Amino acid sequence: MINYVSRFLLSAFFVISSNYATAAGKPNIIIIVADDLGYADLSIQGCKDFHTPHIDSIAKNGVRCTSGYVSGPYCSPTRAGLLTGRYQQRFGHEFNPGPAGNKSPTFGLSLDETPLPQLLKNAGYKTGMVGKWHLGHNENFHPTKRGFDEYFGFLGGANSYTSGQNIFRGTMPVQEKEYLTEAFAREAVAFVDKQKKDPFFLYLAFNAVHTPLEESPKHLFEIDKIPNKNRRTYASMVFAMDDAVGKLLAKLEKENLAENTLIFFISDNGGPEGANFSDNGPLNGVKATTWEGGIRVPFFVQWKASLPKGKTFDNPVIQLDILPTILAATGGEFSHKKKLDGVNLLQGRYRGTKKPVCCKP
AA identity, residue 229: K
How many CA atoms are closer than 13 Å to the CA of 155, on its beta-carbon side? 26
Yes or no: say if 201 and 29 are a contact pair by the CB < 8 Å rule.
yes
Candidates 47, 54, 65, 75; catalytic one: 75
Candidates 51, 54, 93, 134; catalytic one: 134
75 part of the active site: yes
Query: Which residues have a catalytic role annotated?
Result: 75, 134
